[in-house]
Amino acid sequence: MPASPPLNSIVLAGLAGELAFEAYAWLLSPVLFGVTLEPARLVTALTQMGTGIALPYGAAFALHFAIGALVFPAIVWMTHARTGLKLPLAGAVAGLGLWFVAQGLLAPVVGRSFMMGFGAYTQSSFIGHVGMAALMGGLMVWFMARFAPPRKNEVPLG
Given a cut of 50, is residue 158 above it in pLDDT?
A: no
The CA distance from 83 to 42, in Å, is 30
- Any idea what DSSP says for residue 117? G
**Ranges of each domain in the chain:** 10-147
Q: What's the rounded mean pLDDT across residues 125-142?
A: 96
Q: What's the rounded mean pLDDT across residues 143-154?
A: 76
For 2-6, 28-32, 89-93, which range has the lowest pLDDT when averaged over its residues?
2-6
Q: What's the rounded mean pLDDT across residues 34-38?
A: 94
The CA distance from 154 to 151, in Å, is 5
Q: How confident is the model at residue 86 (pLDDT cuts 50, 70, 90)?
A: very high
pLDDT computed for residue 84 by the predictor: 93
Q: What's the rounded mean pLDDT across residues 49-73?
A: 94
Q: Within 13 Å of residue 32, how many CA atoms lie on the same side as its CB?
A: 18
pLDDT computed for residue 150 by the predictor: 67
Q: What is the mean pLDDT of the chain?
A: 90
pTM of the complete model: 0.85
